[in-house]
Structure 1
């Protein structure tokens, strides 16, 4: 067994591409680290975390564990504090929590030529929606239209927007929509939207960033037709790069050694 262990936890988890991404990066970096996956439910998280020994360096967290990881972290980075979600735990005497999803969205959009935006629509009101709002704010957004099946769940996003200087409004996903520059979809993978609704969201929806990537194309991506569409694989890739920086040297913004080769190997593993 390797002396340094890491893993991705979530429920479900069998579909996760994180082990392949991390293995590719560790190969380039010549790190003999073991990165696995484990199905852990939200109620079982605290006990599972407490069972880890000193050989464990870090964890990647996916749904439904981001809020539980936030509570477990002794200290957190700014993105984690603002979003209330942690997708990366650097373990040690006390776990440090990070949210690399925000930077992953920003990097994925930049890779597709989107580096500034004024108006956005966010579909969904969960943890990933908070990361999407933070990413939009970093790109200069001043207005965000949140659409969800239960708009009352967006109260936290409205408050977060106010703290960021972004005017956030919330409504039913089926309500009439106005034109925006960018749509950020944070709906669960496999969400089935009827064609008429997807078409209304696409009309005047600007470019589409869809956090989902399996199955692909999603119902929304299909409705967007020839318009600009960015799948969640870009976010998955770039948030993982930031995770690996954290696991390697503790800083999500400090590049890895030979990061160009690392990124190329990870992209090839997708």
Structure 2
């Protein structure tokens, strides 16, 4: 069987490393590719899949644009409006969002199982996942700090309603007032949150930064210095990939530790060669 991760740009995606490590540990002679694919090419690519395909992973900018192309979608996909996983079964494309599983598992591993106050930095597909994670942690109200508040309201407003979280979307300039939340989740691309690093004040709480490279980010480093518990993006990435492996291979115990070891080695190699 074959699988692939689709997105653009795709050059440094870790998904091939993670899934190939899983297949090796499970004794599966399966292949996994990285394919550059933009939203305008996605429908034609999906239409050409045959019965040699077990599934796909989806990264930016495809997580939202893939949803209307699915034959079936999980409740998590419907609520968040984003899918990062496709399982090919009996000719149908079944969509799932394992990012939510990855985020909640990474938080749980670090001891975060509840949260009353949550601040989300960013307003894209990962921010929707962060709102769903907040809901899983028992939080019914969250603040979203958006670089484009108007666009965020159009996208995140309906998603928050489906998820069941009341959300307050505020401009980027208000970020300093909301960094003292019990849990802050940064769902921003590299460099986007760097300017917030000097704004942390000494306090308890947790920062989850979904980035894993470069690590630590200036935001994470400053939060740790200010006394926050800090969770990086690599455990989330590996947990979500392990859940993909479980869904796509039907193996009930994906080899998380093998995948984490492979991912850590790959990140270290990238850091030492760039």
Give the superposition deviation at 1:217. Answer: 1.6
1:177 is paired with a residue whose SS is helix
Give the superposition deviation at 1:203. Answer: 5.6
Residue 257 (structure 2) aligned to one of 249, 260, 264: 264
Is 14-23 or 173-182 further displaced after alignment? Answer: 173-182
Deviations 1:218-264 (A, max 9, x none): 22112213321111111101001110111012xxxxx724x4xx111
Residue 81 of structure 2 contacts residue 159 of structure 2 at CA under 8 Å; is this kept in 1?
no
Distance in 1, matches of 2:133 and 2:140, equals: 12
Deviations 1:78-113 (A, max 9, x none): 110111111001124120000000111000000000
Residue in structure 2 matched with residue 240 of structure 1 by the alignment: 241
Higher helix share: 2
Matched, 1:216 2:212: no
Is 222-231 or 238-247 further displaced after alignment? Answer: 222-231
Distance in 1, matches of 2:140 and 2:114, equals: 11
Distance in 2, matches of 1:11 and 1:90, equals: 20
> Any unmatched runs of 5+ in structure 1?
250-254
Matched, 1:172 2:209: no
2:119 is paired with a residue whose SS is strand
Residue in structure 1 matched with residue 62 of structure 2 by the alignment: 65
Residue 128 of structure 2 contacts residue 160 of structure 2 at CA under 8 Å; is this kept in 1?
no
1:124-135 to structure 2, matched below 5 A, reads 124-135=122-133
Matched, 1:32 2:33: no
RMSD: 1.8
* TM-score calculated relative to the size of structure 2: 0.88
Residue in structure 2 matched with residue 98 of structure 1 by the alignment: 96
Give the superposition deviation at 1:150. Answer: 0.7
Residue 131 of structure 2 contacts residue 163 of structure 2 at CA under 8 Å; is this kept in 1?
no
Residue 80 of structure 2 contacts residue 162 of structure 2 at CA under 8 Å; is this kept in 1?
no
Give the superposition deviation at 1:191. Answer: 2.5
Residue 21 (structure 1) aligned to one of 5, 18, 22: 18
Distance in 1, matches of 2:246 and 2:204, equals: 34
> Any unmatched runs of 5+ in structure 2?
264-274
Distance in 1, matches of 2:181 and 2:230, equals: 15
Give the superposition deviation at 1:158. Answer: 3.2
Residue in structure 2 matched with residue 252 of structure 1 by the alignment: none
Matched, 1:111 2:109: yes
1:71-220 to structure 2, matched below 5 A, reads 71-92=68-89, 93-155=91-153, 156-175=155-174, 176-178=176-178, 179-191=180-192, 193-194=194-195, 197-200=196-199, 206-220=205-219
C-alpha change, 1:16 and 1:244, in structure 2 (3 Å) is same
Residue in structure 1 matched with residue 268 of structure 2 by the alignment: none
* TM-score calculated relative to the size of structure 1: 0.89
C-alpha change, 1:26 and 1:206, in structure 2 (3 Å) is same
Residue 5 of structure 1 contacts residue 55 of structure 1 at CA under 8 Å; is this kept in 2?
yes
